Copies of this chain bind each other. A is one copy, B any other.
Amino acid sequence: MEKQHFGKLIVFGVGLIGGSCALALKEKHAVREVVGIGRTRANLDKARQRGLVDRAFTFDDAWEDELRDADIVLLATPVAQIDALLTRILPAVSEKAIISDAGSTKQNVIAVARGCYRAEPRVSLANFVPAHPIAGTEHSGAAAAFATLYENKNVIITPLAETSPECTATISALWQVCGATIHTMSPAQHDTVFAAVSHLPHMLAFALVAELASRPDAGIFFQYAGSGFRDFTRIAASSPEMWRDIAFDNRDALIRELDAFARMLSELRSEIEEKNNTGLMQRLQTASDARRRWAPGSGKPDTN
């Protein structure tokens, strides 16, 4: 197979997600150059220092000229910024450029993109490829980026009816070069699945830590929290801005998940209150069995 080359890449949002993708592609010599466009000069300086990007602009700069010969534009900012950015990007890019994103919600990004493309009929939704790399850590910014972030991770692509198979293939190849496996699903199914397995757990972790932190004697609680608490709440250190955007963007699916969880928790609460031995035992056993069956990357074998 001929080595894939993706030409000139523009990354909006040179943080953990965009920066790690840029770094992986550069290390594989799969791009000619990478231009980073971001919010703060300090983060962009760090990105250049670390070799994530060759040139960098803040959102406020005049970067439109850089877009004219771009082959691929990757939107890796918080989702709420995509509307304003696409409104500036679309008039500036060539008709051949492929535009993709890395947003954790898809229906909302697609609705925004449809609006922007309607306003700029020169470019076509055939070249827009909505995607979501399932990777990340609780750290953010260019300093947190690393080239192997996507190795053995999943990238979900949710093509529109309009998206051309060639553009989907190019974006798939780009993430495969980063080490990821590609899955395709509909935007609605994506948002339902990730509301349950990602957005809900983040909200639960945020809520638990916020509740403890709100107590006058919070210190004593944090002092004795152990390794279970550490892992359970790791994701509560994630970017509040990013997760506020996700919560609002995927509101309906997330609310459904919050309600399903609240019902389950209320049943569990009754079982505890009534000392319903069989009921509670069955519920905990169901969870423990399911978690042990899933268990990817648990590190240690289940030896009991």
Bound complex: CA A201 to CA B235 (Å) = 13
A95 to chain B, nearest CB (A): 34
Bound complex: CA A144 to CA B283 (Å) = 24
B-contact bits for A293-304, CB 8 A (1 contact / 0 none):
011111010111
Q: Does A65 contact B (CB under 8 A)?
A: no
Bound complex: CA A260 to CA B210 (Å) = 11
Q: Which of B227, B248, B296 contacts A272 (CB 8 A)?
A: B248
Q: Which of B143, B226, B237 contacts A288 (CB 8 A)?
A: B237
B-contact bits for A217-258, CB 8 A (1 contact / 0 none):
010111011111111111111111101100110010011001
Bound complex: CA A247 to CA B284 (Å) = 11
Q: A15-B304, A154-B226 are in contact. List 6 more A-B contacts (CB 8 A).
A: A140-B304, A141-B303, A198-B226, A204-B232, A207-B261, A258-B269
Q: Does A3 contact B (CB under 8 A)?
A: no
Contact surface of A with B, Cβ cutoff 8 Å:
15, 43, 134-141, 143-144, 153-154, 156, 183, 189, 193-194, 196-198, 200-214, 218, 220-222, 224-241, 243-244, 247-248, 251, 254-255, 258-262, 264-266, 268-269, 272-273, 275, 277, 280-281, 283-292, 294-298, 300, 302-304
Given known contacts A136-B227, A228-B201, A239-B288, A247 and B265 CB-to-CB distance under 8 angstroms: no
